[in-house]
Amino acid sequence: MVKRPAIEEAALLRIRPSREERRQIAAVAEKIIAAVDKTGEARGMLVGSIARDTWIAGEHDIDIFLLFPADLPREELEIRGLALARRTAGLFTGSVTEKYAEHPYIQALIDGYEVDLVPCYDVASASAIQSAVDRTPFHTRYIRGKIDGFIDDVLLLKQFARAGGIYGSDQMTEGFSGYLCEILVLYYKGFSPLLSAAAAWRPGCVIDPEGHGKKKFDEPLVVIDPVDPKRNVAAAVSLSRMMGFVELARGYLAAPSPAFFDVEQEPGITREELSDLLNKRRTHLFSITFAAPPLIPEIVVPQLKRSVEAITEWIERNGFPVQNARYQLEGDRCMLLFELLIAELPAIRTHLGPPVWNRENAEKFFGKYAGGANGGLPYITTGKYAVEVPREYPYARDLFSPHLILNTSLGKHVRQSLAEGFDVAEGADCWQEEFAAFIGGFLKRASPLIRTRQKKNGGKK
Amino acid sequence: MVKRPAIEEAALLRIRPSREERRQIAAVAEKIIAAVDKTGEARGMLVGSIARDTWIAGEHDIDIFLLFPADLPREELEIRGLALARRTAGLFTGSVTEKYAEHPYIQALIDGYEVDLVPCYDVASASAIQSAVDRTPFHTRYIRGKIDGFIDDVLLLKQFARAGGIYGSDQMTEGFSGYLCEILVLYYKGFSPLLSAAAAWRPGCVIDPEGHGKKKFDEPLVVIDPVDPKRNVAAAVSLSRMMGFVELARGYLAAPSPAFFDVEQEPGITREELSDLLNKRRTHLFSITFAAPPLIPEIVVPQLKRSVEAITEWIERNGFPVQNARYQLEGDRCMLLFELLIAELPAIRTHLGPPVWNRENAEKFFGKYAGGANGGLPYITTGKYAVEVPREYPYARDLFSPHLILNTSLGKHVRQSLAEGFDVAEGADCWQEEFAAFIGGFLKRASPLIRTRQKKNGGKK
């Protein structure tokens, strides 16, 4: 085996779980699984990064699946599965919460560990799954069968992706899942060869470890699931995240530094910094803040994205160019942020009419405006009628009125939340403690490699 | 013959030349022609509206062509033609000026009449002409042979077009020539039938009185010259002027009024009105004024047009939307006028870079901007690099600096004039006495029909 660079060895010393952590986790998992198995109702199975030995020290949520017979009706599974999960958790803790992803499941705090107890079907092959959760045991089996000798590489990749801000397949991150990291390390046979390959990735890149190669995918990065040819493991990875990884790979290969493995909290911008920055940029910042819809992020975040797009479209349709727009879900609050190039337009705007040669419409248009009651008077420009009318919204601020914002194509639950009220702020007044990091990143946009270099030890060894 | 409406009869009483005017003009023309003929060098011929009896009372420039043998070499024609014209004029006046259109000619003030003496070739047919002026005698012969019974109609049409601001085939007007008016009246057999037809004109309309019908023309209105199938008599008519005529025809047919035959000077805007109007509109007016190039309008005006287009393009490329832009040649001064929606933009702008997957260019871009010396830091947006850089011209006023204006694609002679110096003004300071009507029309744009209705007696009898 090739000797790793000192930087990577040093990182591994920090991210490899200790023997004590491993022992404790194994003990917790074992007693829960034993309790499940004892019921005879379902079979307990440890899955996820714990099961695969690929968790980063301290990042140790325990995922235990309860595998029920595949012939159990779906409603039965939901009722009996949840009941068993709750009962099992109750044996060890009083802290039990019901959660909901595709199915309901139980989250419990046992001996200081967050444990998910997830009912699923025990199916014969991954192609026979009835829902996404049924696939997880196959992933675990696949990775466990091949991961020997590559565990440190997976740890390095996960930490590298986390430090670069592209770890996580949630809608907010649009980055790499743990399973994707494992597949990539196995496919390229290590962390280093993966980075060398990724430095030359282009959109449309297809990685197919088991040579399934049938289905076409539209996503920029395609990694065909070894256990399910119809699934792209990298479906959540946005083009920008993919290219962020490409950039990080190049940057690390060219000039390795511990910063590439340092997970550093983005420092939030202060109110004064924000005020200074806006004065310097001379742009016009507007924020909409409101209570998050009481739903999981997987449902809320895509709606936030859609809402920002719709509102941006609305703002630009009124003649105000938008420099940047973004959304953030922070606990139970959401913020939509818009940076405009201008905040005020003239009192008039051009309203184009029909061509003069289109007699019926032309005469209608002329009749409507000839009196001047609706603003200017009709004139002819390149053969068409036009008229200057009063601009409906000469001040950008007015575009954020509740009835106008609610009239855009918002996501359903975001609309419901906004309809209950929202705050609009302008300029430095957009600043809020809980969104300070978001606002800072919004105004000081920088690629993952730049952010890595900005870390305290960025660029230097 | 159908009895004309009283409005038209009343107009004719004002625009038909008096017997005395006819007699005087005939006497002046006759003595000049006699003088030309007497030399034996060339044949004198009265052309133009005087020859065709289609001039409006008081609008009586006398055009006399000196027809030289077609086998005379071109240089000979220019030298001998000009000499003969000058000598002939000198017999009657001391006020003799040399002018230049396609050829040089002589303009003289004789007995109070402006007389043009234009040398040309006496060719056998219009298809054998050597330059545009040779065609004129054919036009005169063609019209004279057919105009009987339609003279009043031509007078009405000319006055109608003049009052509507679309009479004149010069580059500034882009409207109807006198010859075009005559052809249209002959083709449609009178003023009224022409208006009825024109009310339904569409771009691409082709009128071909002699059924030549071969060549295709691109202009919106095509009227094939009866004496020259390769020529569109309406080539100078812009789409907007054509549609202005269409609109006037509809308006007159729907509600005739003397205003349609009233040539009324557009009242200029006052400085105070301009100031008030700009405060109300909240737009940003910029003017460039400079000495007109010492050339005929046929050369200067198209260059003004091109220059305004180029400068508009320059302004908009820098992020400032232009609401309206226009040029004016007023004696020996030119004005270019621009109305902008905004006058100030943020200190930053987005500079888009290459896709991150284009490794060579991406690394070059990253290297150039990663230090932050050129503004912001590289970020990734939909897979491409971008960076915020300082905006070169955040204030619209700065776009009008001499070196920047001279760097746009101006017309050649306009550039030469601008290079010698120009004034830039902003807001109400754009106002200048001689351009007061131009600026007023620019800001209070209105179609010909609207302007007709705005006249003192507009709409009412």
Domain ranges of chain B: 19-133, 151-261, 271-344+394-443, 348-390
Q: What is the CATH number of domain A151-261?
A: 1.10.1410.30
Smallest CA–CA distance from B344 into chain A, residue: A342
pTM over 0.90: no
**Is B366 an interface residue toward A (CB < 8 Å)?**
yes
**Is B388 an interface residue toward A (CB < 8 Å)?**
yes
AA letter at B334: C
- For residue A357, give the nearest of B202, B446, B448 by CB distance: B202
What tokens appear for B208 in the block? 């071909």
Name residue, tokens 């040029």.
B327
* Size of the A and B interface in Cβ pairs below 8 Å: 145
How far apart are the C-alpha atoms of B19 and B45, rounded to whole Å? 22
A243 chain-B contacts, CB cut-off 8 A: 355-357, 380, 383-384
Q: Are residues A382 and B356, on separate chains, in Cβ contact within 8 Å?
A: no
Closest by CA position to A49, among listed A165, A173, A171, A176: A176
How would CATH label the architecture of A16-136?
2-Layer Sandwich (3.30)
Contacts of A40 (CB under 8 A, 6+ apart): none
Each residue's pLDDT tens digit, A154-181: 999 999 999 999 999 888 899 999 999 9
Closest by CA position to A182, among listed A149, A134, A230, A205: A149
Closest by CA position to B451, among listed B170, B248, B175, B201: B248
Query: What distance in Å separates residue A313's CA from the closest CA in chain B?
Result: 18
Q: Are residues A246 and B282, on separate chains, in Cβ contact within 8 Å?
A: no
B150 Ramachandran zone, left/alpha/beta (phi>0; psi -120 to 50)? alpha
Q: Are residues B243 and A380, on separate chains, in Cβ contact within 8 Å?
A: yes
User: Cβ–Cβ contacts within 10 Å for residue B223, how many?
Assistant: 25
- For residue B347, give the nearest of A280, A346, A363 by CB distance: A280
User: Bridge partners of B222?
Assistant: B206
How far apart are the C-alpha atoms of B426 and B428, rounded to whole Å? 6
A346 chain-B contacts, CB cut-off 8 A: 281-283, 323, 341
Check: CB of residue A224 under 8 Å from CB of residue A416: no
Name residue, tokens 């470890």.
A209
How far apart are the C-alpha atoms of A379 and A369, rounded to whole Å? 10
Query: What distance in Å separates residue B246's CA from the closest CA in chain A?
Result: 8
A446 chain-B contacts, CB cut-off 8 A: 377-379
- Of the residues A316, A344, A379, the best mutation for testing chain B's interface (the one with the most B CB atoms within 10 Å of its CB) is A379
How far apart are the C-alpha atoms of A245 and A237, rounded to whole Å? 10
User: Cβ–Cβ contacts within 10 Å for residue B18, how many?
Assistant: 10
The tens place of each residue's pLDDT in chain B, 461 residues long, gives 568 999 999 999 999 999 999 999 999 999 999 999 999 999 999 999 999 999 999 988 899 999 999 999 989 999 999 999 999 999 999 899 998 777 889 999 999 999 999 999 999 888 888 888 899 999 999 999 999 999 999 999 999 999 999 999 888 899 999 999 999 999 999 999 999 999 999 999 999 999 987 789 999 999 999 999 999 999 999 999 999 999 999 999 999 999 999 998 888 999 999 999 999 999 999 999 999 999 888 899 999 999 999 999 999 999 999 999 999 999 999 999 999 999 999 999 999 999 999 999 999 999 999 988 777 899 999 999 999 999 999 999 999 999 999 999 999 999 999 999 999 999 999 999 999 999 999 999 999 999 999 886 544 43
- Of the residues A205, A246, A447, the best mutation for testing chain B's interface (the one with the most B CB atoms within 10 Å of its CB) is A447
Half-sphere exposure of B309 (CA within 13 A, CB side): 8
**Is A376 an interface residue toward B (CB < 8 Å)?**
yes
How far apart are the C-alpha atoms of B307 and B413, rounded to whole Å? 10
Q: What is the CATH number of domain B271-344+394-443?
A: 3.30.70.590
- For residue B380, give the nearest of A240, A281, A346 by CB distance: A240
Element (H, E) at B271: helix B271-281
Closest by CA position to B16, among listed B156, B140, B127: B156
Q: Are residues A246 and B357, on separate chains, in Cβ contact within 8 Å?
A: yes
B346 chain-A contacts, CB cut-off 8 A: 281-283, 323, 341
B75 SS3 class? helix
What tokens appear for B40 in the block? 């034996």
ipTM: 0.90
**Is A20 an interface residue toward B (CB < 8 Å)?**
no
Name the H helices within A96-216: 136-144, 151-163, 178-188, 191-198
Confidence band for A102, pLDDT divided at 50, 70 and 90:
confident
So what CATH class is B348-390? Answer: alpha beta
How far apart are the C-alpha atoms of B320 and B314, rounded to whole Å? 9
- For residue A347, give the nearest of B281, B350, B445 by CB distance: B281
Q: Taking a contact as any Cβ pair under 8 Å apart, which residues of chain B between 266 and 295 contact chain A?
A: 280-283
Q: Are residues A350 and B281, on separate chains, in Cβ contact within 8 Å?
A: no
- Of the residues B205, B241, B243, B350, the best mutation for testing chain A's interface (the one with the most A CB atoms within 10 Å of its CB) is B243
A355 chain-B contacts, CB cut-off 8 A: 243
Q: Are residues B247 and A450, on separate chains, in Cβ contact within 8 Å?
A: no
**Is A63 an interface residue toward B (CB < 8 Å)?**
no
How would CATH label the architecture of B19-133?
2-Layer Sandwich (3.30)
Query: Nearest 5 degrees, angle CA A198-CA A200-CA A205?
Result: 75
User: Bridge partners of B207?
Assistant: B223
Closest by CA position to A435, among listed A337, A340, A341, A339: A337
- Of the residues B205, B309, B318, B380, the best mutation for testing chain A's interface (the one with the most A CB atoms within 10 Å of its CB) is B380
Do the domains B151-261 and B348-390 sit in the same CATH topology, yes or no?
no
Average the pLDDT over each of A69-73, A95-99, A135-139, A453-457 and give the range with the smallest value. A453-457
B319 chain-A contacts, CB cut-off 8 A: 321, 341
| Percent helix, percent strand, percent coil in chain B, to nearest 5 | 45, 20, 35
Q: Are residues A346 and B341, on separate chains, in Cβ contact within 8 Å?
A: yes
**Is A363 an interface residue toward B (CB < 8 Å)?**
yes
